[in-house]
Chain A
Amino acid sequence: MINDSKEIRRGTLGAVQVRFFTFDSLKLESGDKIGPVTIAYETYGSLNKDKTNAVLITHALSGDAHAAGVHEGKDDPGWWDALIGPGKAFDTEKYFVICSNVLGGCKGSTGPASTNPKNGKPYALDFPLIGINDIVNAQKRLVDQLGIEKLLSVVGGSMGGQQVLSWLSRYPQKLRSAIPIATTIRHSPQQIAFNEVGRQAIMADAHWKSGNYYDGPHPSQGLAVARMIGHITYMSDKSMAEKFGRDKKDAGEHFKFTADFEVEGYLRYRGDSFVKRFDANSYLYITKAMDNFDASGGRRFDDVLRGIKAKVMVISFKSDWLYPAYQSKEIVRACKLAGVETTYCEVDSSYGHDAFLLEVDEETYLIKHFLKKIFYAYEVTGDYGA
């Protein structure tokens, strides 16, 4: 918790729209090629004349390009709207903010549900295996296309943080700073295990049909179960107890295994709403990319980072047991060993992994000051203590 939150203002972006960037082909790390590739993206604020104020936001597993503002005629704001907008952490009056849907996703970017140019049908499992580095390579094409030589920062939590680490280790000369949040250099067996259970739930759904379900019913039950497992891992014991307790839902039609408890109802609701907006095959591909990712590329991560000029701020959350603080500390340790200028904060939060979406005041304070320092190239800020 941060005590000093007086300076946090809120402003809204208003209507925003999604754009698309298409390029011929992308060579993947596996050696495969895919093309054409379309990347859906949104931008907020405006790029300054020198093109020095661009911040790339990278989204987590279930996120998309719609990070802030609202789409015309709809109410729901973007997934990080609390942090992006006028006067917010990513102040759109100062910075040009970009967020794109990942390669392999299902919200406008090319993914397994997209049409395979070879046969005019959805790719399904003909879609090649992709990695976090491929996702980042596609983002880099977009950033290049926008004419940005150097990003002010790349920022993201969870899988977004993996992308940040990929940028940092592979394109450090393209960044002035990086903010990996609640993330890891590589997944632990526990993280892989949870993803694998999610994938198994999808593949066990009779409607999955080895991925070829696009002309019929989708494997919604499997995907919903995967999402329910995900949601359990995003919360903490404490946040669940606080949110639901052992409260029972209102008595209605009962059979033996109704969702009696609030927590059951919540998970079912989360599962059901997820299947309306997410493609099961994308879930398989993206979780696999997360599991396979290793920012160190098999080397010592500090060796990878040596000589990097970009400044780094690592943020973790105390109750996050899916991406525990020790994993963030490993990033920090490697940065220290490599002599990279680094700041680290472990925010005292009870929200679990979800904290990176919910601890708005703390993140705002840290990000705002950090970005300001990078943007104005201060060593230390001029306004002492402000």
Chain B
Amino acid sequence: MIMARKDVQLDHKLIMDLITPQSKVLDLGCGNGDLLYLLAKEKNAHVHGIEIDEQEIYKCVAKGLNVFHGDVDSGLSEFGDKSFDYVVLNQSLQQIIHVDKVLFDALRVGRKVIAGFPNFAYYRSRMQMFFLGKTPVTGTLPYQWNETPNLHFLSITDFKDYCRSKDINIEKSFYIGQSRRVFLFPNLFAQTGIFLISKV
């Protein structure tokens, strides 16, 4: 295990622990490629990323990663069924236009999907809504209403209900608070939820 590394974000650590060595991983919305880089380095994973932001593409190329400059929503149709062991949607799920389509495509091209997203029902969000009457701004939802790239505001409970209604199997779940893992009442105390899911 590589958990000795302090500079690794907690969500990246948790995702890395889910992934078995030498897996094939596709990261949808891979950003600057930090996670893929770690997976390649520490897990000998074969990694690919898709990212819309040109500046992030340069950072990925500098790390030697294979990245496609493009829009996650425009489809994964060119990948065959189960062509990846894992498809990662970390902090990108809430920014996708067609969630159903992308998520089901991800579940088709990957054996398993790892989805991480900010929890809208975090207690501080609830308090800001209730007491201040304002759209919440928190550590994982840091944007003002007029500049947020997020399109969907979902809670951990929402996602669980969603999976149940769509026959998606939740294999594992992890919850993160301000700086450490949360085990009790995650829909209240977690800022981030990470789910390992697969199609039933």
Q: State the 9 A-B residue pairs at the shortest beta-carbon distance, nearest first.
A: A381-B64, A373-B64, A380-B64, A380-B40, A336-B78, A333-B78, A345-B69, A344-B68, A369-B62
Q: Is the beta-carbon distance between A2 and B55 smaller than 8 angstroms? A: yes
A91 → chain B, closest Cβ, in Å?
A: 16
Judged by a CB distance under 8 angstroms, whether A3 is at the interface is yes
Q: Is there contact, CB below 8 Å, between A344 and B64?
A: no
Most buried by A among B41, B59, B62: B62
A4 to B61, CA, bound (A): 13
A259 at the A/B interface (Cβ < 8 Å)? no
Q: Is A24 located at the chain interface by the 8 A CB criterion?
A: no
**A370-B61 contact given A333-B78, A337-B78, CB 8 Å threshold:** yes
- B67 contacts which chain A residues (CB < 8 A)? 343-345
A98 vs chain B, min Cβ distance (A): 24
Q: Is B100 an interface residue (CB 8 A)?
A: no
Cβ proximity bits B31-68 to A, threshold 8 Å, 1 near / 0 not: 01000010011000001000000110111111111111
Q: Is the CB of B68 within 8 A of A343?
A: yes
The yes or no answer to B79 lying at the interface (CB within 8 A) is yes
Among A339-356, those with CB < 8 Å from B are 339, 341-348
CB distance from B32 to the nearest CB of A (A): 8
Report A305-349 residues with CB < 8 Å from chain B CB.
Answer: 311, 313, 329, 332-333, 336-337, 339, 341-348
Contact B70 A369 (CB under 8 A): no
CB distance from A374 to the nearest CB of B (A): 9
Decide: A341 and B37 in contact? CB cutoff 8 A. no
Contacts of B83 in A (CB 8 A): 339
Our count of residue pairs bridging A and B at CB distance below 8 angstroms stands at 76
- Once the chains bind, are A345 and B61 in contact (CB under 8 Å)? yes
Query: Chain A contact residues (Cβ within 8 angstroms of B): what range?
Result: 20 to 34
Rounded to whole Å, the gap between the CB of A336 and the closest CB of chain B is 5
Interface status of A378 (Cβ within 8 A of chain B): yes
Task: Given A3-B55, A379-B40, check contact A384 B63 (CB 8 Å).
Answer: yes
Given contacts A336-B78, A337-B78, A373-B64, contact A344 B69 (CB under 8 A): yes
If over half of B's interface residues share one DSSP class (helix, strand or loop), that class is named, otherwise mixed; here it is mixed
B window 53-98: CB within 8 A of A: 54-55, 57-70, 78-80, 83
Find chain B residues with CB under 8 A from A1 CB.
54
Which residues of the partner chain B approach A4 to less than 8 Å between Cβ atoms?
Answer: 55, 58-59
Residues on B close to A: CB < 8 A? 32, 37, 40-41, 47, 54-55, 57-70, 78-80, 83
Q: Which residues of B contact A129 (CB under 8 A)?
A: none
Cα-based distance from A48 to B46 in the complex (angstroms)? 30
**Closest Cβ–Cβ distance, residue B141 to chain A (whole Å):** 26
| Interchain CB contact (< 8 A) of A343 among B55, B61, B79 | B61
Extra contacts besides A379-B64, A381-B63 (15): CB < 8 Å: A2-B55, A4-B55, A4-B58, A4-B59, A311-B66, A336-B68, A337-B78, A344-B70, A346-B70, A365-B58, A365-B62, A366-B58, A380-B37, A380-B41, A385-B63
Inter-chain contacts of B66 with A (CB < 8 A): 311, 341-343
From A3, A313, A336, A381, give the contact of B62 (CB < 8 A): A381
Quick one: closest B residue to A347, CB to CB? B54
Which residue of chain A has its CB nearest to the CB of B74? A329
Taken together as a complex, chains A and B put the C-alpha atoms of A29 and B67 apart, in Å, by 36
Task: Specify which chain A residues have a CB less than 8 angstroms from the CB of B58 in the assembled complex.
Answer: 2, 4, 345, 362, 365-366
Q: Is the CB of A386 within 8 A of B41?
A: no
CB closest residue in chain B, given A367: B61
Q: How far is the CB of B125 from chain A (nearest CB, A)?
A: 32
Question: B129 → chain A, closest Cβ, in Å?
Answer: 37
| Whole-angstrom CA separation of A1 from B58 in the bound complex | 10
Of A332, A343, A365, chain B has the most CB atoms within 10 Å of the CB of A343
**Can you list 18 pairs linking A and B with CB atoms under 8 Å apart?**
A1-B54, A2-B55, A3-B55, A4-B55, A329-B70, A337-B78, A342-B66, A343-B61, A343-B68, A344-B70, A345-B57, A348-B54, A366-B58, A366-B61, A378-B64, A381-B64, A385-B32, A385-B62
Task: Name the B residues within 8 Å of A344 (CB-CB).
Answer: 67-70
Does the CB pair B41–A332 fall under 8 Å? no
Would you call A380 and B63 a contact (CB within 8 A)? yes
Query: What are the residues of chain B within 8 A of A366 when measuring CB–CB?
Result: 58, 61
Complex CA–CA separation, A379 to B61 (angstroms): 11
In the complex, A370→B41 CA distance in Å? 17
Rounded to whole angstroms, the CA-CA distance of A328 and B32 in the bound complex is 23
Residues of B within 8 A of A2 (CB): 54-55, 58
A347 to chain B, nearest CB (A): 7
Contacts of A313 in B (CB 8 A): 61
Q: How far is the CA of A346 from the CA of B83 in the complex (A)?
A: 25
Q: Which residue of B lies closest to A328 (CB)?
A: B69
